[in-house]
């Protein structure tokens, strides 16, 4: 199950990606928003990311105007590794090396054609493991630090 969500700035791009997921028969859950009415991307990120850390959804696709605000918010949730991408190389290597579980895209940055390539790359690339595992563990250790 793939979680998908946007604020108003990413709403139209999210609609296009939902059409793609439907056409490919990929199961998804839409965590909002449900119109172009203004809303706050941290609220959208939190609800969606909870479904990933609880294991209800395997990965998430998040959209805002730039992809940046929603990725900053998503990365505050323990267990989330969100990557804001607008090129295929980054979308591929954030899976291979960072085991990213959330892809963030900017509805005002990328068009639907590139967005679909980014989503396909992200969903179909496996984490490489190996030397990258200890680095992911160090990210988790930072999350667990109470007093920096």
Write out the catalytic residue numbers. 64, 97
DSSP string of 32-80, one letter each residue: S--SSS---HHHHHHHHHHHHHTTSSSEEEEEESSSHHHHHHHTTSTT-
What is the number of other CB atoms lying within 10 angstroms of the CB of residue 87?
13
Q: Are 62 and 82 in contact (CB under 8 A)?
A: yes
To ligand RB5, the closest distance from the beta carbon of 72 in angstroms equals: 8
Does the protein bind ligand RB5 through residue 101 (CB under 6 A)? Answer: no
Does the protein bind ligand RB5 through residue 64 (CB under 6 A)? Answer: yes
HSE-up of 112 (CA within 13 Å, CB side)?
11
- Residues in contact with 65: Cβ distance below 8 Å, sequence separation at least 6, in sequence order: 7, 9, 10, 106, 107, 108, 109
The piece of 14-22, 45-53, 60-68, 97-105 that touches ligand RB5 (CB under 6 A) is 60-68
The piece of 47-55, 64-72, 84-92, 133-141 that touches ligand RB5 (CB under 6 A) is 64-72
Q: Which of residues 8-27 bind ligand RB5 (CB under 6 A)?
A: 9
SS3 95: helix
Does the protein bind ligand RB5 through residue 46 (CB under 6 A)? Answer: no
Cα 95 off chain centre by: 11
Q: Which residue is nearest to ligand RB5 (CB)?
A: 69
The piece of 61-69, 76-84, 121-129, 140-148 that touches ligand RB5 (CB under 6 A) is 61-69
To ligand RB5, the closest distance from the beta carbon of 133 in angstroms equals: 31
**Binding positions for ligand RB5, rule: CB under 6 A:** 7, 9, 41, 64-66, 68-69
């Amino acid at each position: 199950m793939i979680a998908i969500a946007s604020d108003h700035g990413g709403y139209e791009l999210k609609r296009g990606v939902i059409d793609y997921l439907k056409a490919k028969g990929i199961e998804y859950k839409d965590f909002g928003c449900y119109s172009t009415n203004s809303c706050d991307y941290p609220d959208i990120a939190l609800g969606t990311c909870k479904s990933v850390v609880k294991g209800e959804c395997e990965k998430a696709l998040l959209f805002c105007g730039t992809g940046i605000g929603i990725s900053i918010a998503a990365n505050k949730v323990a267990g989330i590794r969100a990557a804001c991408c607008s090129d295929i190389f980054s979308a591929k290597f954030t899976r291979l090396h960072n085991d990213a579980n959330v892809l963030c895209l900017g509805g005002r940055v990328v068009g639907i054609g590139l967005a679909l390539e980014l989503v396909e790359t992200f969903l179909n690339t496996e984490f490489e493991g190996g030397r990258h595992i200890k680095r992911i563990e160090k990210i988790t250790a930072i999350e667990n630090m109470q007093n920096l």
